[in-house]
Structure 1
Amino acid sequence: YNSTRLFDYPSIVPMECVVQGIIETQHVEALEILLLGLCGVPKENLRVHELCLKSGPNLGSEASEIRILCDLMQPEPAWTVRHVGGADQISVLVRTMVESKASKHVLRLFYLLGYKLDHELLRVGFAFHFQRGAQITVTVSSYSKLLKLHATDDDNVPVTPGIQMVEVTAPASAENYTEVAAAVSSFCEYLAPLLHLSKPGVSTGVVPTAAAAAASLMSFSGSTNIHLEI
């Protein structure tokens, strides 16, 4: 992007459907095997630097939050600004979302506007993107809190040691979000032996059947000579 331009034209997805869950790190390989079979596409490695900014008092009494994401898997780090709005609660969380590509100077802009850095995270894992009744993305990742400002290459503190976050999202609109939500819910049923997915903020914990399901998947993988790189 032109270094003098802070934002590209916004990519506005009116809504997105999302559910989340957690899985023990020891069972992630089994989950990847299951996802590979369900999605039919290769995984994409994920390494994202997330900066969470919150508005200062000069921006009004109602607090707002902006996330600046830097994709560290690209040859040149790619920056994105993301704002998530209000949500509807049905079988999945349906929320408004605006996302725009930006230049490396975008953080400076938000500082000038009155936003303050709240915290930084490093997200590492993998993702699957596929079509199954909707354009669905499944991400499996761990989060670490940065101890030093912008120090993504240093040793950082895991937010949830031994646990990884699983998130299923799909873009939607006011016209089709019920159908998209149904597609997401239907897909999540296939993952039920390994983890339970629910609306963000609803804690469900790990699934008691995860160990047995993971052992079965790993056994199947070994017997069919399927070896996946984690």
Structure 2
Amino acid sequence: MECVVQGIIETQHVEALEILLQGLCGVNKKPLRIHELCLKSIPILGYVSSEVQLICDLEQQPEPTWIVRYVGGAIRGAGAEQICVLVRTMVESKVSKNAVPWFYSIGYKLDYELLRVGFSFTFHRGAPMTVTVSSVNKLPKLHAIDEAEPITLRRQIVEITAPATDDNYAEVATAVSSFCEYLAPLLHLSKPGVSTGIVPTAAAAAASLMSVGGGTTV
């Protein structure tokens, strides 16, 4: 399982967010360049369509690595709505670069293809977490990574994910929610699919962070 929240930030404030994250996380950022393909199976009588993501980490050296990821539904129940982060099932595994033609051969078709470019921080703060900040780019032609075009020029996506289990997801969700409070002056983070828009205080908070020129570990 994993806990996840998302938000958007104006590109002009990304540098300030990086300064804040550097101080909060106490680790160096890692460059992010992810080639993502979403594949869907063709519905067959008696079976519903399924969806998987094939993700290639282009920054991995000496050779890019591939991961296949299946994201399931969110948990349900009386307490699910009270949790301010999305808790969902997720399965992923490393695969070879031959995974793409293999999925095509068993009936999957390409739904969409993206290139995500930015940076990430991986750290432990009550629970292991990863914060990614990235621009989303579309590919005008199949697998044409070098021709990627930004979908939104002035905004980037911020996502926090944290691994969890059936036994500890409530504690992990609390840790993620607590960390989100530190970022609140710059952006709102909420369950994926819940749009919260741009934070009114972002410009002032970004100016303050830029004026000090760096972060202090909190």
For this structure pair, what is the TM-score category when the shorter chain's length is used for normalisation? over 0.9
Q: CA deviation at 1:61?
A: 4.1
Is 1:76 the counterpart of 2:69? The answer is no
* 5+ residue gaps, structure 1: 1-14
Per-residue CA deviation, residues 180-223 of structure 1 (Å, 9 max, x unaligned), is 000000000000000000000000011010000000000011xx
What is the TM-score of this pair, normalised by structure 1? Answer: 0.88
* 5+ residue gaps, structure 2: none
Match of 2:86 in 1: 93
Question: 2 CA distance for matches of 1:33 and 1:104?
Answer: 35
Match of 1:188 in 2: 180
More relative contact order, 1 or 2 (CA 8 Å, 6+ apart):
2
Match of 1:52 in 2: 38
- Structure 2 letter corresponding to 1:95: R
Match of 2:24 in 1: 38
Question: 2 CA distance for matches of 1:183 and 1:220?
Answer: 27
Verify the 8 A CA contact 1:142 1:158 in the aligned structure 2. yes
Question: 1 CA distance for matches of 2:34 and 2:15?
Answer: 20
What is the TM-score of this pair, normalised by structure 2? Answer: 0.93
Q: Secondary structure at the match of 2:109?
A: strand
Match of 1:175 in 2: 167
Q: Secondary structure at the match of 2:178?
A: helix
Q: Secondary structure at the match of 2:153?
A: coil
Verify the 8 A CA contact 1:58 1:114 in the aligned structure 2. no
Cα 1:176/1:49, change in 2 over 3 Å? same
Amino-acid identity (%): 72
Question: 2 CA distance for matches of 1:135 and 1:190?
Answer: 16
Verify the 8 A CA contact 1:84 1:98 in the aligned structure 2. yes
- Structure 1 letter corresponding to 2:126: G
User: What value does the CA root-mean-square deviation take over the aligned residues?
Assistant: 1.3
Is 1:150 the counterpart of 2:143? The answer is yes
Number of residue pairs the alignment of both structures matches: 208
Q: CA deviation at 1:157?
A: 2.5
